[in-house]
Amino acid sequence: MIIPWQQLEPATLDALLESYVLREGTDYGDQELSLSDKLEQIKQQVINGSVLIVYSELHETVNLIAKEQFDASAMEGQQDDG
């Protein structure tokens, strides 16, 4: 289930983004960015819709997923139904 970022309290959104950025293995390319730069970058991606906030009812978790990745997995699910 996609959670619109606008429905989250600003502090909740910030905490979610910080948790995501601080996860081990998050890759930002060859250049080293500060925490504030990483947070601003991911926040802009959420605001412009290229990254989605997704709640998994099965796992009871919230994650950030690239829109293309989410769209691709949704299409796979539709193909499995047919």
pLDDT for position 66: 93
- Residue 23: the pLDDT is 85
Spatial contact of 41 and 26, defined as CB atoms under 8 Å apart: no
In this predicted model, what pLDDT tens digit does every residue of 70-80 receive, in sequence order?
888 877 766 55
Q: What is the spatial distance between Cα 48 and Cα 15, in angstroms, rounded to a whole number?
A: 19
Count Cβ atoms below 10 Å from residue 5 Cβ, excluding itself.
Answer: 18
At 14 the three-state DSSP class reads helix
The model's pTM = 0.79
Give per-residue pLDDT as tens, 2-58.
Answer: 999 999 999 999 999 999 998 866 566 667 788 899 899 999 999 999 999 999 999
**Which SS3 state, helix, strand or coil, does residue 9 take?**
coil
Supply the pLDDT for residue 27. Answer: 61
